[in-house]
Structure 1
Amino acid sequence: MTEPADGDAPAELQLTSAEWSMWQAFRNGSTCTCDLRCSICGEVVLPESRFTTLRLVNCAIPRVEAARLHTEGDLHLPRCVVHSGIRLTDAHIGTDLMLNQTVVHKDRQGRSIMADGMTVTQDLQAEMLESYGELSLRGATIGVSLSLRGSRLSNPFGRRALNAPQLTVERTLYLTAAGLPNSPFSSGATPPYGTAYTPSRGTRVQRFECEGGMRLDDGRFGDAVDFEHARFIMESDQELSLRRIQTPELRFLGERPQRGRVILSGARVVNLVDKSASWPGLGGLWMAGFAYETLIPRGHFPLSLRLQWVAAATPEYAPEPYEMLAASLRTTGEDADAREVLLAKQRRRRETLPLAAKTWGFLQDWTVAYGYRPGRAAVWMAILWAIGTIYFSMSPPPPLKTGETPPWNPYLYSLDLLLPVIDLNQSGAWKPGGGAQWAAAVLILAGWVLATTVAAGASRLLRRQ
């Protein structure tokens, strides 16, 4: 081990593997700190070790092997360069785990950080982390928040850059941009490591970027999952998978993925905060069984674009996304928009029907918009009534029985033909023939069609479909 002489500038601290092992053994059970720029020649091997606090700052390390490590306080590895991965499987960190600005390369299995089953009592800060390989957090538990602000996760060697099914974060998962301070000790930094922070307007930022798939299936997040300004670079067979996650708020505010798929099947959120420009196009979004209560759009997100969002998630017709959207709109008092969504659902459903049912669907749509625009029925009724009145005024039919008919009234006669069930004692008293007979038949048929479509629409509205 070599150290700088008194009065010299801090030099690189060289630790051989044996020297590190002796130092670690001496420090075991207490606080271990290396705040100099050090280069460790061998692996840092700490399986099942116990420390009060362990800090390695700005170090070059071949590998960190620390499965089942237990610390009562922090584990800090900021600004380190780890050449062959970090293993923290089943580790227990008593307070915070800090990996800010750390660069980690993959191990022989293609993983940069393997922390399956790890427990961090407070925060896991990995802001502006660079990970080259799979970052694995399967079944990990974070007691407060997990911050990957400004980090770059890249795994060209496998399917996923972040693999974290069944991850539990008691507060918020941040996959957002990080503000870049002017120096490590500027406002928002925490000496001696200089953490990033959530950027304000006008601040230079570094986006969170994920090159490869991401898996957060079955995760539980106490406050939110935040993707603001995130960028996902995926191949066609890769996924941003959020299957069955549960969180009060999902902030889907990143860049639109150009390839790959976003999977929300079975996810349950209370607030969905999103932008129209963040969602992938047709075939790139799956959300069967996705449940949300309130939509909070950022920027311009009209109903027409929201319907395109649903259509993109349903290359084959499925009613649930339309019904979920309509229910959310009704919750916020937007009943007219909810009816438009349900009308769009009926039109999508019509595309799957056989010819006869499709024809009947077109007729319902054309006349009363499947019952969601009942005012159309009154308009059609008024038009047909006026046409019938004009026609029968010019061509009155003869009486069925002379001397037993009521006074001739073309208005009531036309209305009696149009209204099914209701009898105004007019249609049965006259005997139309020739063209008048055909005109009467058309009015009767039109009346029944209008009545049937209105009844079908009313039934659909009562069933909230």
Structure 2
Amino acid sequence: MEINDLTPAEERVWRAFPCGEVVDFRTDGGEDATAGAGWGPERSLRASVLRALLASAPQEDGEIAALRVRGARITGELDLMHAVVDHPISLTHSYFANLPYMYGAQLRRLSLRGSVLPALDLGSARVDGVVNLSECRVRGRVHLGGTQISGALILERAELTASDDGEPALKLQRTVVGDDLLALGLRAQGEIRLNGATVNGSVNLSSARLSHPGQVALDAVTLSVEGDLLLRHADVEGWIGLRGARVAGRLDLSYARVSNPGDMALRASSCTVGELWLRRGEPLDGGLNLRRAQVEVLFLEPEKLPDTVRLDGLGYTTLTPHEPAERRLPMLERDDDRYVPHAYEQLTAAYRRIGDDDAARVVQLAKQRRHRLTLPWYGRLWGQVQDAAVGYGFRPLRAAVWLLSLLAVGSISYALHHPPALKPDEAPPFNAVFYTLDLLLPVISFGQEAAFAPKGPYQYLSYVLVLTGWILATTVVAGVTRTVSRQ
């Protein structure tokens, strides 16, 4: 293209390119690019001119060429499909009449900061630097699926609205980002798709507003993040999907509001997370699914939990903050009314790791009581007896009280009414205390029970003492076995 064919605005850009100078068409630094449709020819650039400029790449010795334009109206389609561009592109605070088409392109750096676009196609591209889309307003899909970005991807305070064809507002499927994905304050109407993406830094969606009611708002299935995934103060209408994701650092939903009533709000089954923070702010409006997830540190405040919590197979090393067992137990009873023994064992192990054996015993007792509800009537009856007697072996002092009480009742009764000897000539002197102990303790014999046989109501009392003695003995042995095995 000859320079004589250019408009005055295009000529300014053409002459500034070899030295990488900025061409700013704005009359006011605070101009809103949404008014760009009405900008006149004095600040309009044809996309074909920009494409020819990048292709011919005029340069000056000792200078670094770059396309740096602010506040322009870009007419026509900027078609850089599979193009190889060795110079940075910066078209900021500009208005694009048509979508920039950069599928499969190889770029040095791309900045569209503050621009208004109908859509953006950067799929399967390769960018050896930063892609800056902060403060952009896009009324169609932003497609970066399969793109490789060696630097950061910046979407801070961007406003994205999905089209009506069902495509995501932002598609980062299988995208590789060499640094951080920064999207603080992002506003998105429609799905954000991150499934299969790899981010070698952190993903920061703090204060983002994601809206896709009743459907997936953030789809991050099998996402891999080497740093943190931050959703602090985020407001999400729809559900978050993290199934199979791996976050080496912290998954932080502090102060976040996630609303998907009637269904799961956070689906993080089978994911691997260094630290999961569910704290502060209102509880999740919808269910929480952490089945088969593996978490090193689970920072979970009971107030943050919804009514439905699925924890089957969840593994965690540390549970914080430290709360009494009574405040933690309700979350184990919200898994669709299912009995999940693994969840009780995980909570017990967490308390034992910090030396809170009393809380661990409370959890184990709750586990036995919950298990009792799944048994047939005779199993429930036997469980009630063990619970009342010694708390399934986790209340050993209760057994001592029962034994002492029965010993006192039996000793007094038989002291007042001696049972007759079976063989008077061979019987030892009667002792009411040791006779009662003989009845109560099935594995110990003091020679009294075999020598004397009570009659009438005292015979029935002996049956009661023998039966309760067996119950107490078996439950105490079970409790001692648990204690020894823990040590």
TM category, shorter: 0.7 to 0.9
Whole-angstrom distance in 1 between the partners of 2:25 and 2:94: 18
Q: Supply the AA of the counterpart residue of 1:55.
A: S
Residue 40 of structure 1 deviates from its aligned partner by 0.9
**Cα distance in structure 1, aligned partners of 2:110 and 2:209:** 25
- Opposite residue 188 of structure 2, the aligned amino acid is S
Indicate conservation of the 8 Å contact 2:290/2:312, yes or no. yes
CA distance in 1: counterparts of 2:210 and 2:326, whole angstroms: 35
Residues 54, 87 of structure 2: 8 Å contact kept: no
2:242 equivalent among 202, 208, 216? 216
1:168-247 correspondence runs (5 A):
168-176=224-232, 207-247=233-273
Identity of aligned residues (%): 33
Q: Is the 8 A contact 2:291 2:312 kept in 1?
A: yes
Q: Secondary structure at the match of 1:225?
A: strand
Preserved contact between residue 267 and residue 289 of structure 1 (Cα < 8 Å): yes
Q: How does 1:42-81 map onto structure 2 within 5 Å?
A: 42-81=98-137
Q: Give the whole-Å Cα distance in 2 for the aligned partners of 1:83 and 1:142.
A: 26
Q: Report the Cα distance in structure 1 between the residues aligned to 2:200 and 2:87, rounded to whole angstroms.
A: 23
1:339 aligns with 2:361: yes
* Greater C-alpha radius of gyration: 2
Range moving further from structure 2, 123-132 or 447-456: 447-456
- Report the equivalent of 1:291: 315
What is the root-mean-square deviation in Å for CA atoms of aligned residues? 2.2
CA 1:24–1:217 in structure 2 vs 1: closer, same or farther (change >3 Å)? farther
Supply the AA of the counterpart residue of 2:382: W
CA contact (8 A) 1:42 1:61 kept: yes
Give the SS at the match of 1:90.
Answer: coil
For residues 26 and 485 of structure 2, what CA distance do their matches in structure 1 show? 84
Task: Give the superposition deviation at 1:354.
Answer: 0.9
Deviations 1:215-267 (A, max 9, x none): 11111111111111111011313431101111121111254446422110110
1:113-161 deviation per Cα after TM superposition (whole angstroms, max 9, x unaligned): 01111111011101101011111111111111110011111113x6111
Residue 389 of structure 1 aligns to a residue in which SS?
Answer: helix
Q: Distance in 1 between matches of 2:448 and 2:264?
A: 71
Letter in 1 for 2:251: V
Residue 19 (structure 1) shift: 4.7
Structure 2 Cα separation of the partners of residues 5 and 396 of structure 1: 113
Shift in alpha-carbon separation, 1:362–1:6, aligned structure 2, 3 A = closer
1:34 aligns with 2:56: no
1:15 touches 1:38 (CA, 8 Å); kept in 2? Answer: no
Aligned-pair CA distance for 1:275:
1.0
Amino acid at match of 1:251: W
Letter paired with 2:468: A
The secondary structure found in structure 2 opposite 1:109 is coil
Q: Tell me which stretches of 4 or more aligned residues in structure 1 moved more than 6 Å.
A: 3-7
Q: Which residue of 2 aligns with 1:433?
A: 455
Flag the 1:174–1:24 CA change in 2: closer, same or farther, 3 A. Answer: farther
Please tell me the residue identity of whatever aligns with 1:355: W
Q: Residues of 2 paired with 1:148 and 1:280: CA distance? A: 22
Report the secondary structure of 2:316's partner residue.
coil
Q: Which has the higher contact order (CA 8 A, sep 6+)?
A: 1
Counterpart AA for 1:294: T
- Which consecutive unaligned segments of at least 5 residues does structure 2 have? 1-6, 13-22, 37-42, 58-66, 68-84
Query: In the alignment, what sits opposite 2:287?
Result: 261
Kept in 2, the 8 Å contact 1:118–1:141? The answer is: yes
Q: CA–CA distance in 1 between the matches of 2:44 and 2:138?
A: 15
| Structure 1 unmatched ranges of 5 or more | 177-206
Aligned pairs for 1:308-387 within 5 A: 308-313=330-335, 315-387=337-409
Question: What is the number of residues matched between the two proteins?
Answer: 429
Match of 1:198 in 2: none
**Structure 2 residue identity aligned to 1:287:** L
- Residues 5, 366 of structure 1: alpha-carbon distance in 2 compared, 3 angstrom cutoff: closer
